[in-house]
Structure 1
Amino acid sequence: MANSIKALSLAAVTSLLLTGCNKVTQENFEKIEVAMAYSDVTTIIGEPDNCESLSLFKNCFWGDNKKQISIKFVDDKVTLKTSKGLTP
Protein backbone atom coordinates (compact mmCIF):
# COMPACT_ATOMS: atom_id res chain seq x y z
CA MET A 1 0.00 0.00 0.00
CA ALA A 2 2.76 2.47 0.93
CA ASN A 3 4.62 1.65 -2.30
CA SER A 4 1.47 2.36 -4.32
CA ILE A 5 1.08 5.76 -2.68
CA LYS A 6 4.74 6.59 -3.33
CA ALA A 7 4.42 5.54 -6.97
CA LEU A 8 1.29 7.64 -7.47
CA SER A 9 2.91 10.64 -5.78
CA LEU A 10 6.00 10.31 -7.97
CA ALA A 11 3.86 10.05 -11.10
CA ALA A 12 1.88 13.17 -10.11
CA VAL A 13 5.01 15.21 -9.41
CA THR A 14 6.63 14.08 -12.67
CA SER A 15 3.52 15.04 -14.61
CA LEU A 16 3.46 18.50 -13.03
CA LEU A 17 7.13 19.05 -13.77
CA LEU A 18 6.74 18.04 -17.41
CA THR A 19 3.72 20.29 -17.81
CA GLY A 20 5.59 23.16 -16.18
CA CYS A 21 8.49 22.76 -18.61
CA ASN A 22 6.29 23.29 -21.66
CA LYS A 23 7.32 26.58 -23.23
CA VAL A 24 4.60 26.52 -25.92
CA THR A 25 2.47 29.21 -24.26
CA GLN A 26 0.63 32.34 -25.34
CA GLU A 27 2.94 34.39 -23.13
CA ASN A 28 6.06 33.08 -24.86
CA PHE A 29 4.43 33.37 -28.30
CA GLU A 30 3.86 37.08 -27.64
CA LYS A 31 7.56 37.57 -26.80
CA ILE A 32 8.57 36.51 -30.32
CA GLU A 33 8.88 39.42 -32.74
CA VAL A 34 9.41 39.79 -36.48
CA ALA A 35 13.14 40.07 -37.31
CA MET A 36 14.10 38.26 -34.10
CA ALA A 37 17.05 35.88 -34.52
CA TYR A 38 16.52 32.10 -34.47
CA SER A 39 18.83 31.84 -31.45
CA ASP A 40 16.70 34.35 -29.51
CA VAL A 41 13.54 32.38 -30.34
CA THR A 42 15.09 29.14 -29.10
CA THR A 43 16.12 30.91 -25.89
CA ILE A 44 12.44 31.70 -25.31
CA ILE A 45 10.74 28.46 -26.41
CA GLY A 46 13.54 25.93 -26.74
CA GLU A 47 14.64 23.87 -29.72
CA PRO A 48 11.89 23.17 -32.28
CA ASP A 49 10.20 19.79 -32.49
CA ASN A 50 10.49 19.90 -36.27
CA CYS A 51 11.98 22.14 -38.97
CA GLU A 52 11.70 22.09 -42.74
CA SER A 53 14.55 23.89 -44.48
CA LEU A 54 15.08 25.07 -48.03
CA SER A 55 18.05 27.31 -48.81
CA LEU A 56 17.64 30.47 -46.69
CA PHE A 57 14.06 29.57 -45.68
CA LYS A 58 13.15 27.53 -42.62
CA ASN A 59 9.73 26.62 -41.17
CA CYS A 60 9.90 25.43 -37.57
CA PHE A 61 7.25 23.96 -35.30
CA TRP A 62 6.96 23.63 -31.52
CA GLY A 63 4.27 21.61 -29.77
CA ASP A 64 1.69 19.19 -31.18
CA ASN A 65 -1.59 19.18 -33.13
CA LYS A 66 -3.51 20.62 -30.17
CA LYS A 67 -1.09 23.35 -29.07
CA GLN A 68 1.49 24.66 -31.52
CA ILE A 69 3.73 27.56 -32.43
CA SER A 70 4.87 27.79 -36.05
CA ILE A 71 7.55 30.23 -37.17
CA LYS A 72 8.91 30.97 -40.63
CA PHE A 73 12.49 32.19 -40.79
CA VAL A 74 14.39 33.79 -43.66
CA ASP A 75 18.15 33.93 -43.15
CA ASP A 76 17.55 32.87 -39.49
CA LYS A 77 15.25 35.86 -38.79
CA VAL A 78 11.53 35.59 -37.92
CA THR A 79 9.32 36.64 -40.84
CA LEU A 80 5.97 35.14 -39.78
CA LYS A 81 4.63 33.52 -36.63
CA THR A 82 1.37 31.69 -36.05
CA SER A 83 -0.09 29.73 -33.17
CA LYS A 84 -2.83 27.17 -32.60
CA GLY A 85 -4.59 26.18 -29.40
CA LEU A 86 -2.84 28.63 -27.08
CA THR A 87 -4.89 30.30 -24.39
CA PRO A 88 -4.15 33.69 -22.84
Structure 2
Amino acid sequence: MSLRVVALLAGCLLLAACNKVNQDNYAQLKPGMHKGEVESLLGGPAECAGALGMSSCTWGDEQRFISVQYAGDKVMMFSGKGLK
Protein backbone atom coordinates (compact mmCIF):
# COMPACT_ATOMS: atom_id res chain seq x y z
CA MET A 1 0.00 0.00 0.00
CA SER A 2 1.38 3.38 -0.86
CA LEU A 3 2.21 5.98 1.75
CA ARG A 4 -0.41 8.32 0.27
CA VAL A 5 -3.21 5.77 0.78
CA VAL A 6 -2.11 5.07 4.35
CA ALA A 7 -2.03 8.80 5.12
CA LEU A 8 -5.50 9.28 3.61
CA LEU A 9 -6.96 6.42 5.67
CA ALA A 10 -5.33 7.71 8.84
CA GLY A 11 -6.73 11.19 8.19
CA CYS A 12 -10.24 9.83 7.69
CA LEU A 13 -10.05 7.88 10.94
CA LEU A 14 -8.85 10.94 12.83
CA LEU A 15 -11.67 13.08 11.45
CA ALA A 16 -14.26 10.50 12.38
CA ALA A 17 -12.84 10.20 15.89
CA CYS A 18 -12.72 13.98 16.33
CA ASN A 19 -16.42 14.54 15.70
CA LYS A 20 -17.63 15.55 19.13
CA VAL A 21 -21.22 16.19 18.06
CA ASN A 22 -22.63 12.87 19.29
CA GLN A 23 -25.14 11.41 21.74
CA ASP A 24 -22.49 10.56 24.36
CA ASN A 25 -21.29 14.18 24.61
CA TYR A 26 -24.86 15.52 24.47
CA ALA A 27 -25.72 13.32 27.47
CA GLN A 28 -22.93 14.99 29.47
CA LEU A 29 -24.40 18.49 29.08
CA LYS A 30 -26.10 19.82 32.21
CA PRO A 31 -27.86 23.10 33.05
CA GLY A 32 -25.51 25.34 35.01
CA MET A 33 -22.31 24.13 33.30
CA HIS A 34 -19.82 26.88 32.51
CA LYS A 35 -19.15 27.79 28.90
CA GLY A 36 -15.54 26.61 29.24
CA GLU A 37 -16.70 23.15 30.34
CA VAL A 38 -18.98 22.88 27.30
CA GLU A 39 -16.17 23.93 24.97
CA SER A 40 -13.82 21.40 26.59
CA LEU A 41 -16.41 18.73 25.84
CA LEU A 42 -17.52 19.81 22.35
CA GLY A 43 -14.64 21.97 21.10
CA GLY A 44 -15.11 25.45 19.65
CA PRO A 45 -18.62 26.20 18.34
CA ALA A 46 -19.39 26.60 14.65
CA GLU A 47 -21.27 29.81 15.46
CA CYS A 48 -22.50 31.94 18.37
CA ALA A 49 -24.86 34.87 18.62
CA GLY A 50 -26.35 36.82 21.48
CA ALA A 51 -27.12 40.05 23.25
CA LEU A 52 -27.81 41.37 26.75
CA GLY A 53 -26.03 38.54 28.56
CA MET A 54 -27.83 35.79 26.65
CA SER A 55 -26.17 33.77 23.89
CA SER A 56 -26.70 30.70 21.77
CA CYS A 57 -23.90 28.57 20.28
CA THR A 58 -24.15 25.71 17.80
CA TRP A 59 -21.82 22.80 17.02
CA GLY A 60 -22.25 20.72 13.87
CA ASP A 61 -24.30 21.38 10.74
CA GLU A 62 -27.95 21.44 9.62
CA GLN A 63 -28.26 17.64 9.65
CA ARG A 64 -26.54 16.96 12.98
CA PHE A 65 -26.03 19.58 15.66
CA ILE A 66 -25.97 20.50 19.31
CA SER A 67 -27.27 23.94 20.29
CA VAL A 68 -26.60 25.44 23.73
CA GLN A 69 -28.25 28.56 25.16
CA TYR A 70 -26.37 30.48 27.84
CA ALA A 71 -27.34 33.05 30.44
CA GLY A 72 -24.06 34.80 31.13
CA ASP A 73 -21.51 31.99 30.90
CA LYS A 74 -23.75 29.22 32.25
CA VAL A 75 -25.88 26.72 30.31
CA MET A 76 -29.58 27.47 30.55
CA MET A 77 -30.86 24.86 28.10
CA PHE A 78 -29.67 22.80 25.14
CA SER A 79 -31.00 20.73 22.26
CA GLY A 80 -29.72 18.41 19.57
CA LYS A 81 -30.69 16.85 16.26
CA GLY A 82 -29.47 13.81 14.34
CA LEU A 83 -27.16 12.58 17.11
CA LYS A 84 -25.98 8.97 17.13
Q: Which TM-score bucket, shorter chain as reference? A: over 0.9
Distance 1:16 1:30 in 2: 23
Aligned structure 1 segments of 4 or more residues deviating by more than 3 angstroms: none
* 1:30 match: 27
* 1:20 match: 17
* 1:86 match: 83
Task: Report how many residues are paired.
Answer: 84
Normalising to structure 2: TM-score of the pair?
0.92
Unaligned 5+ segments in structure 1 are none
Give the 3-state SS of the residue equivalent to 2:48 in structure 1.
strand
Does structure 1 residue 43 correspond to structure 2 residue 40?
A: yes
Identity %: 31
Q: RMSD of aligned C-alpha atoms?
A: 1.1
Normalising to structure 1: TM-score of the pair?
0.88
Distance 2:52 2:5 in 1: 49
Give the 3-state SS of the residue equivalent to 2:62 in structure 1.
coil
The structure number with the bigger radius of gyration is 1
